[in-house]
Structure 1
Amino acid sequence: MDLPLVVGVDGSEPSLRAVDWAADEAALRGAPLRLVYASLWERYEGSSLAKDLGKPSEQVMAEDIVRTAAQRAHLRQSGVKISTEVLPEEPEYALVHESRSASALVLGTRGRSGFVDMLLGSVSLAVAAHAACPVIVLRGSHDNQVRAGDHGHVVLGVGEHGTDSAALRFAVQEARLRGATLDAVRAWRCPAHETTDHPLLAGEPARLHEQHAAEVLADALKDAPAGVKVRPRTVEGPARRLLLAASHEADLLVVGARRNPEHLGLQLGRVAHAVLHHSACPVAVVPEQA
């Protein structure tokens, strides 16, 4: 049984854009699409029902939202199997629960309750930090129009533990589906205390750090399938800045986020947190076991 691609919908423009993108992604994968609306309307409306409808007014609105989203997805990709669900739960909890039986979760940057100037909504941030599957947040295309990727590049941030990386496997799959080049980026920096003014040693610490980055990258990519064009890149500088720069010429930016079951807080890391807030293209955060 193919796991569905799950989209969190709430009727906002960012979530409708996520529906469009996810419909295209589901068609690429040959996967079913599941549209989920979650809200604790019962907390606020209790048993007070809309007498003429026999349901809480929030539930009526929710059912209309998922029905409209399903129609939109069908018009965009008529061959994709679509299901919908309305859940009386906190959105963060419901979507994290959905992630346990999803191939990936797709979210907009913010929902109906989000402030216009917020970089990333609290629901998207919380789900990206705790989901059991990859979470794709639809950054970029801020005119709310989804277009087919035209850059032909998927960018992957390769961390220190790149070998057998879930993020690498996900990025390879996405590059293969799109017929895109996989740009595997490994950032490196030479700590200031390791520099030297001695003319015979000038540049030696930097060379060693660059060499180590190249070795980590080569080891991570050694089993990459031959059918995907891979472009390894070692670049000096902060990983956050380098990946954000690369996002301007990418169709998707993929980063890993290490999960530690003993920690209860946000489990994203500084790089994932930064690209979720500032990337110029959609971002996929892929959980990695610590």
Structure 2
Amino acid sequence: MRDTVIVGVDGSSSSLAAVDVAAREAQLRDAQLRIVHAFSRLVDLDPMIHGVLARAERRAHERAPGLEMARTVASGETLTVLQSESRHAVLAVLGSRGRSGFGDLLLGSTVVQFAAHGHCPLMVVRGRTDPQGPVLLAVDGSPGGAAAARFAFAEAAMRDVPLIALHVWNTWSEPTPYDGPADPLNVVVDLDALRETHRRRLEEAVAPWRAAHPGVAVDLRLERGRVRHTLLEATRDAQLVVAGARGHGGFAGMLLGSVSQALLHHADCPVTVVRGKD
């Protein structure tokens, strides 16, 4: 059975851009592209649905001639339809803005819900979508980050581009030995030791996947600064950024880490959020 890439469409320009990217992703994987449309109102029925799907199929054929395609038209809530389709998919692709339905995902919590609970990685198409530049991996050192690293290395190998593994660190969230009642003004942080700890964390995070993909050129980058700001700056030169669904040290009850949310809303290139094992 062939792998399947799903893409949500609603007829908007953003969803058509998602079709372009999804067609390329399916072609890279030698997978089937499944175009998904959810509707909940009678006004969404024929002939509008067929027009939306026909435009999406023409767009996919232009991007990837000969690509195997299928349709899913379902009545129901957007998130429910997406989650159901994701059970049999290797990747879901969505636009960042739309007319209704799928396009409204980023306006609320639905995209967060899907990224946290969907059954496959979620790629949100935003910013520059041309396949130029390296794949950027946001390394946080968390156990769940292994799934994001695996996905990022596979993407770089399929696209035949380098991979930048970026780990950003700072002292703000680091524990100190001080536990007194006053401000720990006398506590001295050993920055060299802390930097070395994060360097090892970065190297250990990519080591298994670097060995599995020896043909991928890897650039390890360790930077000290504000995590979200530094990562967003790095997306300016990337063709894709990959992050885990939840980062190191996040609140257990959060559906999606703050860094992943920032990338989904502000990155200058498409973003893939990969959920690790529960």
Task: Return the TM-score normalized by structure 2.
Answer: 0.85
Is 1:129 aligned to 2:111, yes or no? no
Distance in structure 1 (CA, Å) of the matches to 2:200 and 2:144: 11
- Report the secondary structure of 1:288's partner residue: coil
For each residue in 1:18-40, what CA deviation from the matched residue of structure 2 results, as whole angstroms up to 9, or x when unmatched? Answer: 00111112112211100000011
Whether 1:120 aligns to 2:106 is: yes
Root-mean-square deviation (CA), in Å?
2.9
Is the 1:66–1:85 contact (alpha carbons within 8 Å) kept by the matching residues of 2? no
| Partner residue, 1:92 | 79
8 Å CA contact retained: 1:124, 1:137: no
Report if aligned partners of 1:188, 1:209 keep a CA contact under 8 Å in 2: no
Match of 1:24 in 2: 24
- Write the distance in 1 (CA, Å) between the matches of 2:227 and 2:105: 20
- Taking only the aligned residue pairs, the percentage that are identical comes to 38
* Aligned residue type for 2:160: G
> Residue 258 of structure 1 contacts residue 289 of structure 1 at CA under 8 Å; is this kept in 2?
no
Query: Given the alignment, which residue of 229, 237, 252 partners 1:249?
Result: 237
SS in 1 for 2:127: coil
Structure 2: runs of 5 or more not aligned: 179-183
The aligned counterpart of 1:216 is 201
Change (3 A) 1:281 1:213: same
Deviation string 1:101-143 (CA, Å, 9 cap, x unpaired) is 10100000022038x9x993334444223212110000103xx
The alignment status of 1:238 with 2:226, answered yes or no, reads yes
In 2, distance between residues paired with 1:288 and 1:98? 19
Matches within 5 A, 1:258-277: 258=246, 267-277=255-265
Q: How far apart are residue 236 of structure 1 and its match?
A: 0.5
Q: For each residue in 1:56-86, what CA deviation from the matched residue of structure 2 results, as whole angstroms up to 9, or x when unmatched? A: 6524312221122112211221121011111
- Which residue pairs with 2:181 in the alignment? none
Alignment of 1:271-286 (within 5 A): 271-286=259-274
Q: Cα 1:119–1:126, aligned 2, differ >3 Å: closer, same or farther?
A: closer
Q: Distance in 1 between matches of 2:222 and 2:105?
A: 29
The aligned counterpart of 2:190 is: 205
Alignment of 1:140 with 2:127, yes or no, is yes
1:160 aligns with 2:141: yes
Runs in 1 of length 4+ with deviation above 4 angstroms? 192-198, 263-266
Residues 266 and 37 of structure 1: is their aligned pair in 2 closer, same or farther, counting only changes over 3 Å? farther
Does the 8 Å CA contact 2:141/2:205 hold for their aligned counterparts? Answer: no
Distance change >3 Å, CA 264–CA 90, structure 1 → 2: farther
Shift of the 216–157 alpha-carbon distance from structure 1 to 2, 3 Å rule, reads: same
- Other structure's SS at 2:276 match: strand
| Equivalent residues of 1:189, 1:206 under 8 A apart | no
Q: Structure 2 vs 1, CA of residues 207 and 197 (structure 1 numbering), >3 Å: closer, same or farther?
A: farther
Amino acid of the residue matched to residue 201 of structure 2?
V
Question: How many correspondences in the alignment?
Answer: 263
Residue 264 of structure 1, CA deviation = 11
In structure 1, C-alpha distance between the alignment counterparts of 2:95 and 2:14, rounded to whole Å: 5
Alpha-carbon separation, structure 2, partners of 1:222 and 1:216: 10
The AA in structure 1 aligned to 2:204 is D
Q: Contact 2:243–2:273 (CA<8 Å) still a contact in 1? A: yes
